[in-house]
Structure formats: structure tokens, C-alpha cells
Structure 1
């Protein structure tokens, strides 16, 4: 896209292909053509006043699940531009000697200064060919969210880690932010839930997560179940039916059990450990399954293998 934009507004799809140095047409060239035209049309409606100073504002760019892609390839030149050493301060604008910026890989195709060049004080004097600069201002903040224990995604390499500060959001913090009180719960789920039931939901989450920290499971804090899982309780709870027991059962079987089982995969006593974590979640409130004479056919197994009680 950058290579197309620096050539000027494309008039036909062939211009896109020529700008990218290709001999054959690709389907995506039509999309690039439409997007490039839209960018140029909208840019023409913006009035720039280089002499007017505006009050500094901070801007935030949020990338959800940032580790689900190969960030060095996704960001391109931006990978270097977000480094603190390449950020541009407002007081440095207008003097290219005060800043350290990068030039895009298509900079040699650019015969006139772009907006970044102009901001750095680089003018079109007919002799200067040092065009095609790019930078990220210091007041642009990039926030990426990630679950670093996901097995299906790549880890963040050290080059990318150098460019970010890391802040862990614990399971307890997610609990407080997602359903810290009844009012927030109602606003986010439109479900009527009593303070007592909300406390029970939080207690079950605390008991399970406390049990997960047991060293024999070899898991740790990163494997604790976050509030997003327990918020799914609202999918099954209906206050008019007073079905909280069934709702807790559905929450475990449909959402939490599978995650915990995957955590324990490969351990020698994974079945036993799963029952122990299940007991921590249910405490002494596990729904009874109808068996012979109304007894729970799995109750004996749980008592034999698990530790029972709250974590």
C-alpha cells in the first residue's frame, strides 16, 4: 500500500500493479486501488495549517491478541518506529537534525516530500532526494493484549519485548473489573443476580484458582481461570427459575472443565488432579446425579480419588 500511495493517486488498477513492480494482475490489486483512491480523496478534504499549534493529546492504539501474528512482519517499518529511540517529540518537529527517523522501503520512489518529511522541515527544493521518512510521535501509545500460555500462538520475541513494557493482569484483577459488584453485573449482562449469588460465583472462582496454585500441578498463576470464563454463568442462570445449581454445573462442564483438562494433559495423575480441581470448584455443592436409590453413582469415586472440600 505504501508503494502505491507514494506514486500518487492511481487512475486505474494497472497503476497499482506498476507501482508494486509486478507484471501480472492479482485479485487484491482491485481492493488496493479502491482503498488508495479513498485515502487520496479524503486527504484532499483535510486542511492543514502548519503554523497553528494545537494542544497535545494522547492517542491509544489497541491490538487485541497481539501474539497471534508474526509482529515483525505485520508492523513492517513500524517495528522500528515504535522504538523509543525513533519516536519524534513535538519540540523536534521542523528540524530533521534533531530526530532519528526511518525511511520506508519505497522511499527511493518518492520524488516529493510527504507529510512526515514536511513535519521534519524537509522541503522540495529540486535537489533534495532525502524523502520518504516515517515516524510515530511520542504521544501515540500502543497497547497489546495477549494470553501468553496459549499453545496455538507464537511467543513474543525479545526484539519486540524490548519495545514494550509488560503488565500482568491477574485472575483476581479480572474478577474485580468484570463483576466487582451487582450493579456492574446488571449493566453488562442484563441479568438479575443477588449479591449473595454473586459472592458465591466469586468464591468458587477463588477456590478453584487457589487450588490451581498447588505446586503438584506444575501450573502457576498464569494458568488461573480469569473472570471472562465465570462471566459466562449469565448464559445459563435464570432468576425466575432459581436454577443456580444447574447454571454452575453448566459453567463447569461447558467452559471450565475442558480448559483445566488441557492444563493437566500429560501429567501422570491427570484424572485424579481433575477431580481435585472439580471438588475445589463445587465444594460441597456439586449437583447429585440420579442413580440407584437416588444416590450419586460417582460420589464414591470422587471421595476415593479426590481430596474434597474447598481449596
Structure 2
């Protein structure tokens, strides 16, 4: 034990310190409090580098980053705090089990990151692997990253400037002295806003001169050690990508037959000067800006993206798909890109290729979903990598033998099964919950509606968390009258640009971020919960997305698309649960388009499963010895709702499901006077004040509704 860092003991002590704190606390304060309650060994106290970093603190920072990834604690603006999920985990697991479960959850997250890395090739893949070891609260240098990735240092900035959003952490790579590189390639435009502020929010400390703390720096050896600990010392197997390249109408000619005869694929590149691929994207952008001045800005952006994909991102072994005369053809790239001066100037950029089905074309209507939607893009080059499994299925049907096929999904998309534990926790029958899960699986969109206090939002969250199995796959937003498409999906936001000038960046909203994550992890269900969905102008908020709620296999152009390549579709693993308070707006007022796209499930105090919820809860409270007063609360609520004539204005049981109500004799009266009667007064606005007398407790005590039998606890 003397030469081992006691992870379970230290991590448990850390979580206890955070739970006992009244508010988020600094990392140094956390360490000080742990040191006061744990007798640290000489091995743990040993200084491990020239910055004075002690082994146990370095070890704890690494492990708490895993706990943060698991959703059990947060590190924001240098402050640490425990989350409700972390508190629940502490109550569920002992010290050793806590670490084991944390590792399990963390490895699930790592698995998704690995999948993203496998989509890269060569040096990019090596850099991304090394970068994945730099967790929140740490930073590394360009030379350390290059050393671990075994690539030239000059390759790192180019990769980080164009880093795939699915590979986070590029902002954690700094100069040797911990300062930000003032190179335009690594400006905030490319790396996600104010990088220093982002690092500080993760817990990285800076001195007055702008140097990141050397104690939080990871050397090349540190990166190697962490990757080895994560089981990533072996080189990952590269995976093929897939591309749509259009050639059926290039300046009026169909080039596809020539591609198949000549064994190549091409882009026109009509206005390009002689170039030697690969060409860095920033250099390519300058060439396009100069050579295609006659085109609009949006068209030049699209050209740059297409040329970058063809010259730099495609690799030998990638799949090809093209269309001609209503038929689809499949192939594979077999060489790097070259520039040639073609006679007709219609195919200057070329790659050799093998075409599999030149004599067996696939009619467009026989293409399997989601390829028809993806082919709706009018761009000349479209990345189809996320649909590579479908392409390989087509090749299998053509009896084409595939060498080194991309890995199939590890498991099919599925909900976690509704179990007795969930039913018991929600006090709702397992059969009813399973039915709603089946409806959601079938329809993809579901709305829970009913009067206030019926537990709609709580049920939506608990059901989504259970079906997903990971809280990172659930996102909640609340609609309100001023909520817009730009808030919900994407829109331009002002940011500080170069030289301090105001610029506008396309900002992703919560729904776009959820969809992007779901697309990367197609085997996992993702849930968007929209609380108070009827309080916003739905046509305004959803915009063109309304169409996709009904047609998941189709694609559309987005409002803020930079070019035609930016077609968008909703993945099949995205599910939406909305909640609707019928006192705000009757369900009858919801437009037909909305009703057609969502399944509706009513939660009402007079019907199952809500009708016995309060009685079940009170029976449990009584069995635990906490029901001291107001034992007839359920009868009084039934009597109240019997006197409310408008069904949509009934009062749900959640108002009375607080233990404090039953600790004192006047607890029920307090909630009645402060919560329930004001709500009823609002419903009867303009009526004489005496109308509320029929709802007061003394009136209900005189004539309660017929009591229902108490359920068994």
C-alpha cells in the first residue's frame, strides 16, 4: 500500500468535502480540506516534478476529471462542486464501487471519442488520440502533443485550426510557456471563442502575465502514461470514409461514364492555378478567393469546402458514391489527389478509383434510407461517412467483397427496458410506463399534457434518464413567448473578432448540439425535453425543422446554411418529450400540424396513473413514520377537484407532495392559502371574491368527496 495512491479513499474524501460545502469551492481549498481528514502516505506526498506538484494532487485532478465526465461533479471558473447525480452515486456505492462505476461510465464516454478518432486518418488520428488524454483542468504544449503523436510540430496547428467538433480539447494546447499562440490559425474563430476564459472555466490557472500554471501542464511522458492507463497505447485501426462526388452535369456534360472507363473520379477546378496537393485549407481558401472572384461569397465558401474535401480529407480506401441518369454507382478511391491539365478543363483534380457496379447500377428509388435524403444536397462533394454502414450493405447486395470494412455499430439502437425499480420510484405501474416508452419509440415525439401539479416535467425527465441510461444523452429546454429559432437551433451571435472588432458567429443552440451528439453516437438514444412547449410560437421556433419531425428520412436546407452541402436531417436516435400545461393553453388550440407530429398523453388528477399518486405517496410516508398531520389530504384534493367545473383547471397532487406539509398541523393550510387558492383566484379573475369560499379548506372539510381506498404502501 505504501507505493500506491489510494484512489477510492481520496476520491471519496473529495466528494464528501464537496457535499459538505455550502457553495462551490476552489480546487486548492478542496485539496486543503482533504489533507486535513486523510493521513497521506510518503508515496502520495512525494513531489513528482520541478513545479512542486505532489503525487496525490496530480492523481486526484486526473480522477476528478473522470468524475466530472461521469456527471458527478463540476469544475467551472476554477470552482468545484458536487452534482445531484454525484450525491446519489455516493449514497449508492461504497468507495471501491464508486471508483469502479466512475471508470465504467468514463470508458463509455471514451468509447464514443475513440469512434470519432477512428474516422480520421494518418497524422490527424495520432494527434486526436494524444489530445484526448488532456482532460479539463489541464493543458499541454504543441511540442508535447507532436512528440506523443509522432508527427512534426508544424502539423499540429493546422489540425487544431480545422479540428473536428467531435474531438474537443483543442483549446488546451498552448505554447511551451503556457501562453496562447497569437497565430491566426489558432484564433478564437477556429477554436471556440475566448480560449483563456474557456480554460479558466475548466480550472486552469493563469498568472498576471497570461501564463498557464506549470503545475497543470502535461508533458509528452504524461500524455503517454495517461493513454497507456486508458488502454490506448496501441494504434487504432484506421476506418474508411465515404463521399458523394457529383459528375453527371459538369458544365453540361456527364462525366460519370468516363470515370468508370478511365478508373478515376474528378472535380473540374476550372479556374484553379497549377497546385500540388495536399494544400492547407487556409492557403486553399486564399487561392479560391483570388481565382473565383466572380462568384458570391457563399459560393466561394462552398468551393473551398469541396476542394478541401477532395484534396485534403479524402484518403485511399474511402468509398465513393455518384449518380447519373437516375442511377447510383459505388466505388473506392485508390490514390492521392493530383492536379492535371485536362483537355476540356472539366476534370483537373483527380484521384484514381475502382468502380464496382458500372454494369449493375442501382436505381435511385432502390437506395436505402438515409441515402436518398443525403443525396438531396446540391453540393459537388458531400461527406457520407455517417452512412457508411448503408453503403456497405449495398455493396454486400452487389456481392462486392470488401477489404477492411468499417466496423459495424457495436449494438442496435434501443431503449433501456422499463423495470420495477423505475415503476416503484415513480409510483406508476410498469405497464403504463412501458406503453409510453413504446409510443415514444414508435412516434419519436410525445407530449405529456394536463393541469398544473400532475408531475409532467418530473416524469419526462425521469423517463428520459432511464431510457437513455446516461444523463449526458438528455437535454432540457423551457419554451417561453420570446423563444426563437435562433435560441433553439442556431443563429448568429455577436462575438469579439480580430483587433477587437465586432463580428458575428453562427452559434449552435441546444437542439443542434443534441443532434450533433446523437449523430456521432448512433447506437444511443438522445432525448430533448421541452418544458412548457405550448408557451412559445412553435412555427417560429421550429421553422423548417417542423418538416423533419414527420419525415425523419428526408433532408432539408437550413435557414442559415452557408451552402447547399449543409442539408440537415434528424437522426433516428433523437426523441422529443414535451410538456404542456392545459391551464396556459387548451390542447384544442394546438394547430393540426403540431398534433400530427406528436403523440399526446394526458396526465389528469381524475384518471390513472395520477389519480392514486398522492394516496400512494402518503401511504409510503406513513409507513416511514413521517406522516404526522393532515392524513386526509388526498380526500380534500379530490373534494376540491370535484368543485372545479373546468376540467383543465384541476389541481394536481404535486402541490401536496412535500414532507413539510405533514410535519405541522397548519402545513396543509399554508400550502392551500399560498399555492392553491391564488391559482384558483387567477382562474376566476373578475369574479366576486366570495367564489373562492367554496374552495377553502373549512368548506371542503364539511363535504369531502367520497374517499377512495388507501393503496398498500
Is residue 249 from structure 1 mapped to residue 701 from structure 2 by the alignment? Answer: no
Structure 2 CA distance, aligned partners of 1:79 and 1:184?
A: 43
Of 40, 60, 67, 2:534 maps to: 67
- Structure 1 CA distance, aligned partners of 2:655 and 2:699? 13
- 2:637 corresponds to: 205
Matches of 1:283 and 1:105, distance apart in 2:
58
Counterparts of 1:78 and 1:186, CA distance in 2: 49
Q: How far off is 1:183 after superposition?
A: 5.8
Q: Match of 2:656? A: 230
Q: How far apart, in 2, do the equivalents of 1:7 and 1:221 lie?
A: 55
* Partner of residue 104, structure 1: 558
Q: How does 1:154-193 map to 2 (within 5 A)?
A: 156-172=590-606, 173-177=609-613, 180-182=616-618, 184-185=620-621, 192-193=626-627
Query: Is 1:272 aligned with 2:272?
Result: no
CA offsets, 1:66-107, max 9 Å, x none? Answer: 223333343344332112xx213xxxxxxxxxxx32122344
Q: Which has the larger radius of gyration?
A: 2
Contact 1:205 1:281 in 2 (8 A): no
DSSP-derived class of the 1:145 partner:
strand
- Superposition deviation, residue 261 in structure 1: 1.1
Distance 1:278 1:102, change over 3 A: same
**Equivalent residue number for residue 647 of structure 2:** 221
Per-residue deviation, 1:57: 1.8
Cα RMSD, aligned residues only: 4.0
Distance 1:81-1:212 versus aligned 2 partners, 3 A rule: same
Change (3 A) 1:106 1:252: closer
- Secondary structure at 2:627's aligned position in 1? coil
| Structure 2 length-normalised TM | 0.25
Structure having greater relative contact order (Cα 8 Å, sep ≥ 6): 1
Q: Deviations over 1:132-161 (max 9, x none)?
A: 22212344321100102227xxx6444333
Point out where structure 1 has 5 or more consecutive residues left out of the alignment: 1-5, 17-27, 35-44, 89-99, 110-129, 214-219, 285-308
Query: Within 2, Cα distance between the matches of 1:231 and 1:185?
Result: 10
Match of 1:94 in 2: none
Determine whether 1:283 maps to 2:283: no
Distance in 2 of aligned mates of 1:273 and 1:148: 22
| Cα 1:186/1:108, change in 2 over 3 Å | farther
What is the distance in 1 between the residues matched to 2:538 and 2:186?
33
Counterpart of 2:264? none
| 1:159 aligned counterpart, secondary structure | helix
Question: Which of the pair is proportionally richer in strand?
Answer: 2
8 Å Cα contact 2:614/2:634 also seen in 1: no
Aligned partner (choices 87, 91, 108) of residue 552 of structure 2: 87
Q: Could you tell me the TM-score, scaled by structure 1's length?
A: 0.54
Aligned residues: 207
Kindly indicate whether the alpha-carbon contact (under 8 Å) linking 2:604 and 2:652 is maintained by their aligned counterparts in 1.
Answer: yes
Structure 2: how far apart are the matches of 1:310 and 1:178?
Answer: 16
Separation in structure 2 between the aligned mates of residue 161 and residue 29 of structure 1, nearest angstrom? 40
Output the CA distance in 1 between the equivalents of 2:543 and 2:193: 20
Structure 1 residue aligned with 2:679: 259
SS in 2 for 1:167: strand
- The answer to whether the Cα contact below 8 Å between 2:617 and 2:657 also exists between their aligned partners in 1 is no
Assess, with a 3 A threshold, how the Cα gap between structure 1 residues 249 and 57 changes in structure 2: closer, same or farther: same
User: In structure 2, do the counterparts of structure 1 residues 103 and 185 end up closer, same or farther at CA, with 3 Å as the change threshold?
Assistant: farther
